[in-house]
Amino acid sequence: MNTTPTTPKSKSTQRAFWLAMALIVILIGWWVLATPRQAPEPAGAAATAPLPAGSEVAVFAGGCFWCTEADFDKVPGVLATTSGYTGGKTAKPTYAEVSSHTTGHAEAVQVIFDPSQVSYRQLVDYFWRTIDPTVKDRQFCDIGTPYRTVIFATSAEQLQTAQASLAELEKTKPFPEPIVTQLRMADDFYPAEAEHQNYHQVNPKRYDFYRAGCGRDARLVQLWGALAKP
């Protein structure tokens, strides 16, 4: 044990030390409060990141965007996927607004792909087999216009490709019901809130429970047989 008595000089030194520390804390706090902060990007703000060189963009609405995003993440040549909203009249909509069925938007996924690895036609052909194209304004357990199926072409060439794919499918489909999926030119795409991005990876148990409970894969097999892409 240190029995050296505290001298007046050492007390003065300690007091000066703590005063200096208090001043530093006050200065740091003032600096944090005074420094301008960048406002957080609002939900639905348009993506501004540049595309990888040589890549292209496709947009698909296939019901719940958690599932559509998960399906396209499996495709070799797909570089990135983003869940979002498109096809409606409201700028920068929120999930709550889209879910209210008042904005006209559909849940959709923006797909960035490398055309040297996978063609747009291959993506369209793949998309058909991940959805039920025989029902209007519904996919599996989700009902309403936000869950309609749409191929949003980002160019006239893409639209022609999608139309050719649809024409071929009408001849070869393994089910008798008519196809009601829409083909149209793309509108502004608004990324969804952060909690909806990569949901199948961030919340795998909840995602698997939702997908199975909705009967998505069971219906795909019933509809497409061995051609299903669950």
Report the percentage of the chain scoring pLDDT > 90: 76
d(CA 71, CA 142): 17
DSSP calls for the chain: ---PPPPHHHHHHHHHHHHHHHHHHHHHHHHHHHS--PPPPPTTPPP-PPPPTT-EEEEEEESSHHHHHHHHHTSTTEEEEEEEEESSSSSS--HHHHHTT-S--EEEEEEEE-TTTS-HHHHHHHHHTTS-TTSSSEETTEESGGG-EEEEESSHHHHHHHHHHHHHHHHH-SSSSPP--EEEE----EEPPGGGTTHHHHSHHHHHHHHHHHTHHHHHHHHHGGG---
Residue type for position 58: A
Give catalytic residues, as residue numbers. Answer: 64
Report the percentage of the chain scoring pLDDT > 70: 78
How would residue 20 be classed by pLDDT, with cut points 50, 70 and 90? very low
pLDDT digits (tens, 9 = 90+) for 111-161: 999 999 999 999 999 999 999 999 999 999 999 999 999 999 999 999 999
pLDDT of residue 15: 55
The pTM for the full model equals 0.79
Assigned superfamily of 56-227: Peptide methionine sulphoxide reductase MsrA (3.30.1060.10)
How would residue 52 be classed by pLDDT, with cut points 50, 70 and 90? confident
Domain ranges of the chain: 56-227
